[in-house]
Amino acid sequence: MFDRNKRETHDESDSIPTSETRESEERFDTQNRAREAAVIGPSIQINGDLSGEEDLIIQGKVSGTIQLREKSLTVGTKGQVDASVLAHSIIIEGKVNGDLCGSERVSIRKTGNVHGNIVSPKVSLDEGCRFKGSIDMDQETINKAFGKSATPSVTTKPEHASTKSKNIEINRSNKTGESSAAEKKVNSGSTG
């Protein structure tokens, strides 16, 4: 059930909604965050490793690894991520196929569809979201994920292979026709 490659597809009508009650103050306002975060737009596709020190919103397609240790990642409703993610907080409104490590929290919103394993001290699942995988809230596992061995492998690449924005770095393993647009978007520090 946790083999991501063997994911089973369901019709929308097959969805069994799930939810978790949350305190209202824990809610993030996507629009407010968008003013300060870097944005990967809907037409952008990135294959490779992505790391940085600012909040990031993904509305396009990203595959590889994503590491924002001190910052938050939002996968918007149009976003499709096939990657291991490590971040301070993670909000999923689109599709994710991969493991999510959130040192603070992981929230899957009602439009979110996640197939993977979550490691975080706080996890919330909104009514209507889809989730298949495991949720580990054991502090020991969380420490391990953020300390020694279980982090996604975001390696240091040579200068020529990376594109640096103010705070976001993309290490491309497969440059697509659209990646240059992605670089522009990220480099410009777009506020979406």
Partner 1 sequence: MQGGHGEPFTSPLFYESMARFDHTTRHVILEPGSVSPGILALLQGRRCRLLVADAALALNRLSEKPQETEFLLHQVEPLINDAGVEKIDTVLCWDLLNYLSLPLFNAFTARLAAIMAPSGMLHAYIHSAHNVMPRRPQRYSVLGDDLVARFDHDPPERKAPRYSYGDLDKHASGLRVARSMLLRNGIQEYLLRVKPE
Residue 150 binds partner 1, judged by CB under 8 A: no
Choose the binding region for partner 1 from 25-33, 49-57, 138-146, 183-191 (rule: CB under 8 A). 138-146
Question: What DSSP string runs through 142-186?
Answer: HHHHHHSS-S-------GGGEEE-SSEEEEEEE--TTHHHHHHHH
Choose the binding region for partner 1 from 13-21, 77-85, 86-94, 156-164 (rule: CB under 8 A). 13-21
Q: Give the whole-angstrom CA distance, residue 65 versus residue 77.
A: 19
One character per residue 16-55, x = contact with partner 1 (rule: CB under 8 A): xxxxxx----------------------------------
Residue 124 binds partner 1, judged by CB under 8 A: yes
Phi, psi at residue 25, to the nearest 5°?
-70, -15
Q: Give the whole-angstrom CA distance, residue 107 versus residue 89.
A: 8
Question: Which of 71/105 has CB closer to partner 1?
Answer: 105
Task: Tell me the C-alpha to C-alpha distance, in Å, between residue 175 and each of 40, 170, 171.
Answer: 15, 11, 10
Residue 144 binds partner 1, judged by CB under 8 A: no
Give the one residue of 43, 53, 138, 191 binding partner 1; rule: CB under 8 A: 138
Neighbours of 30 (CB within 10 A): 16
CB of 22 to partner 1, least distance (A): 9
CB of 108 to partner 1, least distance (A): 10
Q: Give the whole-angstrom CA distance, residue 123 versus residue 23.
A: 12
CB of 131 to partner 1, least distance (A): 6
Task: Tell me the C-alpha to C-alpha distance, in Å, between residue 80 and each of 24, 57, 73, 86.
Answer: 27, 11, 13, 16
Residue 134 binds partner 1, judged by CB under 8 A: yes
Residue 14 binds partner 1, judged by CB under 8 A: yes
Q: What residue ranges bind partner 1 (CB under 8 A)? A: 1-3, 6, 8, 10, 14, 16-21, 122-125, 127, 130-141
